[in-house]
Structure 1
Amino acid sequence: MCPKIRPGRRGLRIAVWSLVTALVVTAGLVGVALWQNSYDMDEQRVTIRHGGHTLNGVLAIPRDGRKHHGLVVYVHGDGPVDATHDDGYKPIWEANAKAGYASLSWDKPGVAGAPGNWFDQSMDDRANEAAAAIAWARARPDIDGDRIGLWGASQAGWVLPKIAAKTPVSFVIAVSPAINWLQQGRYNLLAELRADGASAARTKAEVAKSDTTLRLLERQATFEEYVKAMRGDADGMTADRWGFISKNYTADATQDLRALRGVPVLLTLAGHDINVDTADTERTYHKVLDAGGALTVKHYPDATHSLLKQSIEQSDLKITLTALFSPHSLFADGFLDSQRQFLKELGRGSHATPASSARVVHVHVYRPVHFDANADTWC
């Protein structure tokens, strides 16, 4: 005859098994997160000095047993970005590593304890900084100085060609780059207003406010004058940000892009980019580079400005969960593979290789699903 189990003991057993199950599930989820956020490359912190400045960087080296590797040098977009972009670069670095390339990136000045203030930089300052990093890399025995190229996103579109004018580069990967600062600003303003369903009256008021800001910039107004003109509503603008904009608002990459003629360029554009007019960017790159460059254009119709899947970027919860459990899945389908393939083809001579070459190669253009003529952007 089986002994009777008292109700209290039964409840205790249920509680214990529930706790054990929860611990097992939690351990499993932690294990999955750790596995998904482990990358097949070796990272090391590095320090780069130039002109009295110090760059705190990260160098990611492939684990392929080779003694020499090509190098992808990263040029950040806007904002306070650290060397790994909060680990967001790591899936891309791993793709580079699979193609036999190391990756080099650094904290922006004033970010993650780095000295300086990135708001104090002009686009030329940023280019000088990157050129110094390339010189540092060329002096390393584990880096192939003839296979050093650039990767840059968004604001980096104004920096990449300036770097190429200062030091030879073997290739450029440009992700959602802008052409003209003022045109981009107006495009972004109108795109966001459309996305918000703004009324005609609100749109008119915001455009007038933007025009006022431009007039203030043109006469080199102080931040205090800006705040006064905005009737005390700075709308998130700070003195540092105003100074940064004042230094750079005339930026235009059109003429600088000539430095990339003869250099293999992978231009990567998103279909849901409300920050950059990708149609204008593509037209300009073709106009400047087709005559003497090796231009490859890739469109990702379902991607946002950051090349994340739109379905994921629209939800903070999805971004967090995907970043934890499947970070490679954050990016648009094919984005990581296309960059890896681009780098591998460089080694096979599928593109014009030396930075000084003027050889014209076939241009592969991947057309988007739809072009909205009214919005003047890919969608």
Structure 2
Amino acid sequence: MVAVVVAIALGGVGVTLAGNDYRLRQEALSIPVSGGALEAVLTLPAEEPARGLVVVVHGDGPVGATHDGLYLPWFEAAADAGFATLTWSKPGVGGSGGDWLDQTMDDRADEVSAAIDWAQRQAAIPNDTIVLWGASQAGWVLPKAAVSRDDIDGIVAVGPAINWLRQGRYNLLAELDHDGATSREREQAIAVSDQTRTLLEQDADYDTYRAATDDPDPMDAGRWSFVSLNYTSDATDDLVAMADKNVPVLLMLGEHDRNVDVTETASTYQDLLGSDVSVEHFDATHSMARPAVEDSEALGLITGILWPRALFADDVLDTYREYLKSLR
């Protein structure tokens, strides 16, 4: 069992909370890839041997292998279904070499494929069934990786978008609505967004961007480079190509997602993948969290410390577990 120990001042005694005790085992690994090694973690069922492998594809940002422990409930659900989970810190995060901000979505898909190839050469890592699990930005990586291989048995896509620019505009407007922005604030925010798009289309370098932008919170140089590399991303063509693979896809969408237009995502996946995709909607936010814990920093922090599984909306982890079981 893996326990995340939380020390609480109760008469000076440190208490290990039951909510942080997980039914799984973990091993630290290093995955050799072009340009260096990736700091990785392999999660295994607590007692029984695993029969398959889930490979994690992170969303945006400098994410570590376990996402600071937030992925542990996902790992546990997979372990309960008899699956190991392989995950790694993004390049430049923790002990991983490189810099994730230098990566295109094609680079990310190549990294996933290289990690799978390496895992298949390790006798201790099960690979009878291989499933890709990815969240958010991974929506532009999962189909690329699946199309490039013939050994992907399933895909779990959590809150993926279809088109980078449409996703950005949807997120902007949704956040403005959520924050109760005034008409003037909306106009200013949309003008800045349009200005940024124009600079991207003009292939502006960072100095040009900084000199021209009216954004009160401008991107740093690394982020500008990353966005410049990837802002034309669109999953449509890769999903069309993936349809020929007939890989069963579990699409998990939150009804309170302010990052992604889940209506567009659901209709696109259904139109392009047909019966290969199962679309599941949850009373959840983009991260599959309960809206209450995401909207309240204090409640989210307390829940994350005392009972991390309770961060997730009803049925999220159960649905994931049952999907993996169905792949037997």
TM range (shorter): over 0.9
Q: Deviations over 1:173-208 (max 9, x none)?
A: 000001000000110111111112122222122212
1:280-299 equivalent positions in 2, closer than 5 A: 280-290=264-274, 293-299=275-281
Q: Distance in 2 between matches of 1:75 and 1:36?
A: 26
For these two proteins, the number of residue pairs brought into alignment is 318
Match in the other structure for 2:4: none
What residue ranges of structure 1 are gaps of 5+ in the alignment? Answer: 1-21, 348-379
Q: Is 1:264 the equivalent of 2:245? A: no
The 8 Å contact of residues 64 and 100 in structure 1, kept in 2 or not, is answered as no
Matched residue SS, 1:143? coil
Q: Does 1:305 align with 2:286?
A: yes
Q: Confirm or deny: 8 A CA contact 1:164 1:259 kept in the other structure.
A: no
From the CA coordinates, give the structure whose radius of gyration is larger: 1
Deviations 1:324-374, CA, capped at 9 Å, x for gaps: 111111100110111000101111xxxxxxxxxxxxxxxxxxxxxxxxxxx
Distance in 1 between the 2:160 and 2:181 partners? 26
Distance 2:279 2:173 in 1: 25
Matched residue of 1:60: which SS?
strand
Distance 1:114 1:141 in 2: 23
Give 1:317's aligned residue: 298
Residues 58-92 of structure 1: per-residue CA shift (max 9 Å, x gap): 000112332x5200000000011000000000111
Distance 2:61 2:183 in 1: 31
Residue 273 (structure 1) aligns with: 257
SS at match of 1:273: coil
Residue 343 of structure 1 pairs with residue 327 of structure 2: no
Q: Output the CA distance in 1 between the equivalents of 2:254 and 2:108.
A: 25
Deviations 1:185-238 (A, max 9, x none): 11011111111212222212221211111111011101111111125x561410
Partner residue, 1:365 = none
From the superposition, tell whether residues 238 and 151 of structure 1 become closer, same or farther in structure 2 (CA, over 3 Å). Answer: same
SS in structure 1 at match of 2:129 = strand
User: Are positions 1:226 and 2:228 aligned together?
Assistant: no
Gaps (5+ residues) in structure 2? 1-7
What is the CA-CA distance between 1:32 and the residue it aligns to?
4.6
| Equivalent position amino acid for 2:70 in 1 | G
- Provide closer, same or farther for how the CA distance between residues 73 and 23 of structure 1 changes in structure 2, counting only shifts above 3 A: closer
Q: Give the AA of the match of 1:152.
A: G
Shift of 1:129: 0.5
Is 1:203 matched up with 2:221? no
Q: Distance in 1 between matches of 2:294 and 2:11?
A: 27
Which of 43, 48, 60 in structure 2 is aligned with 1:78? 60
The corresponding residue for 1:189 is: 172
Alignment of 1:148-187 (within 5 A): 148-167=130-149, 168-187=151-170
Identity among equivalent pairs (%): 48
Is 1:146–1:170's contact at 8 Å kept on the other side of the alignment?
no
> Retained in 1: the 8 A contact 2:48–2:82?
no
Residue 237 (structure 1) aligned to one of 219, 224, 232: 219
| Cα distance in structure 2, aligned partners of 1:46 and 1:282 | 36
Read off the aligned partner of 1:322 and give its amino acid letter: T
The one-letter amino acid of 2:125's match is I
For 1:135 and 1:41, the matched residues in 2 are separated by 24
Letter in 1 for 2:317: L
- Three-state SS of the structure 2 residue aligned to 1:145 is coil
**Alignment check: 8 A CA contact 1:32 1:325 kept:** no
Distance 1:130 1:24 in 2: 45
Per-residue CA distance 1:245-265 (angstroms, 9 max, x = gap) = 000000000110134321110
- The normalised TM-score by structure 2 is 0.93
CA distance in 1, matches of 2:196, 2:92: 27
The one-letter amino acid paired with 1:269 is: L
SS at match of 1:216: helix
Contact 1:227 1:234 survives alignment (8 Å): no
RMSD over equivalenced CA pairs, Å: 1.6
Instruction: Indicate if the aligned counterparts of 2:51 and 2:128 stay in contact, CA closer than 8 A.
Output: no
Determine helix, strand or coil for the equivalent of 1:272. Answer: coil
Pick from 330, 345, 350: which aligns with 2:311? 330
